[in-house]
Structure 1
Amino acid sequence: MTEEQRAALGEDLATWIESLGLEGHLTEAGLPTFRRDGEDGRARWIDPGTGGDLSLAQLRDVEQLLRSEGTEPEHAVPVSLLVLRRHARLREELLATPWHDYASLAELRGASLEATRFAVHKAASTHRLLVVPVEERSIVPAFQLSGDGEVRADLAPVLEPILAARMDPWRAWAWLTQPAGLLGGLVPERAVADPETADLVLTAAVRLAERVSAGS
């Protein structure tokens, strides 16, 4: 009976997670994962420590973790997984916008690869350039650059406070390029180019940096 309960619970959890489109975020959330084996395609939950199947007790622990949000556990949604999915989608959206690696930026600037690499590191260290880590490389979002590949003069004062506050680079990228609540829905990197809203953007960046620093 225990084996049947384990199989049934494992299948129920897997089907639920799949219906929410969250199966790809279990590992990132520090949770066990599952795969479907055999002709019947039944879900097999894997213990990340041993590589073996989770026991019924372990599956119940996983269920409790996943259903711990909300006032009605049977209808609860694993909020942590939803947040991870949202972050993953946001990163995909940001990476779909123009950006440079060292080679493409060097070509844009008409400079050597080494000179460009040095310049990027120096600008990043002085909080004048947003550099975002992507897997094992670093990229430079293009929105912050002028046509010759240099940092936009109007944007530099906005970058400095949020980068000095050690704001997460992905979060900084998103805040700068999407409608911001602190600006009544204006997009910071666009609004700063307008003399009528530039001071408002700088003030919002300073306030955001203060929040980031206070929370770190």
Structure 2
Amino acid sequence: MHEHAAAASVDDPESQARGEALAAWLEGLGLAEHLGEAGLPTFERDAAGVVRWRDPATGQPMSAEQLAALDHLLHAEGEDPQHAVPLALVQLRRQAQVRAALLTQPCLDYAGLAAIRGASENATRFAVHKAAQRGGLLLVPHDGATLIPAFQLTDDGELRPELGPLLEPLLSARMDPWRVWAWLTQPAGLLGGAVPHEAVRDPEEAPLVRHAAVRLAERVTAEA
């Protein structure tokens, strides 16, 4: 009886108002869609627009106590709890935005690279994975497939030679492939805003870019 009362109490006016306020706050920040990915409770709105929060472990409606605990957790970061922002969710949103931007860049699959190389798809797949294992090619997993970002390739489908010294330390450090892709193709603070894969083409800039890649790889290893 006590458990039933606790679960049902989420529908009392105070708890409903708390749940609505949390949902509206997260929607306003653009973070609501990342709750599940972060392992947090999620919510949905019924036909009348009423918010219903669910426990990720059971799938059941959250109790008033659980909702209060979630409210405290999400507002626990920052000096002003009322305006605190859940940093883990912000990071997930940023990650999703970066990945969406990267996916607009040209990419190849095994068949596409095989056509450029004039080889069979099976032979290309084998060669690609051998190169990736030794840190000589960036492969990015996505939706059950493998993407081969085109920026790293020459016109004949081989790795640009100047990128080898950048990829090898980053991939050897087991840096997330998405993060490697982002660092190589976006302005880098260590390079004064230059884009690494473009800057490394310049013989005068190449040593600095290689040094930045090694430093980043060292930081990734230290974080592991």
Residue 187 of structure 2: aligned partner: 179
Aligned-pair CA distance for 1:152? 0.4
DSSP 3-state at the match of 2:19: helix
- Is residue 2:44 matched to residue 1:35? yes
Residue 22 of structure 1: aligned partner: 31
TM-score if structure 2 supplies the norm length? 0.93
DSSP 3-state at the match of 1:199: helix
Structure 2 distance, partners of 1:12, 1:207, is 44
List structure 1 segments (4+ residues) > 4 angstroms apart after TM superposition: none
AA in 2 matched with 1:209: A
C-alpha contact 2:43 2:51 (8 A) present in aligned 1:
yes
Structure 2 distance, partners of 1:108, 1:22, is 41
C-alpha contact 2:135 2:168 (8 A) present in aligned 1:
yes
Residue 168 of structure 1: aligned partner: 176
Q: Mapping of 1:189-208 within 5 angstroms?
A: 189-208=197-216
DSSP 3-state at the match of 2:147: strand
Q: Mapping of 1:40-79 within 5 angstroms?
A: 40-79=48-87
DSSP 3-state at the match of 2:43: strand
- Pick aligned residue for 1:140 from 141, 148, 151: 148
Aligned-pair CA distance for 1:49? 2.0
Cα deviation digits, residues 80-125 of structure 1 (max 9, x gap): 1111000000000001001111111111211111011001100000
Cα deviation digits, residues 19-44 of structure 1 (max 9, x gap): 11111100011101000013x21100
Structure 1 distance, partners of 2:97, 2:28, is 17
Structure 1 distance, partners of 2:68, 2:205, is 54
AA in 2 matched with 1:21: G
Structure 1 distance, partners of 2:34, 2:174, is 26
Gaps of 5+ in 2: 1-7
Structure 2 distance, partners of 1:214, 1:12, is 40
AA in 1 matched with 2:55: D
- Is residue 2:174 matched to residue 1:151? no
TM-score if structure 1 supplies the norm length? 0.96
- Is residue 2:98 matched to residue 1:106? no
Structure 2 distance, partners of 1:52, 1:165, is 41
Residue 6 of structure 1: aligned partner: 15
Aligned length: 215
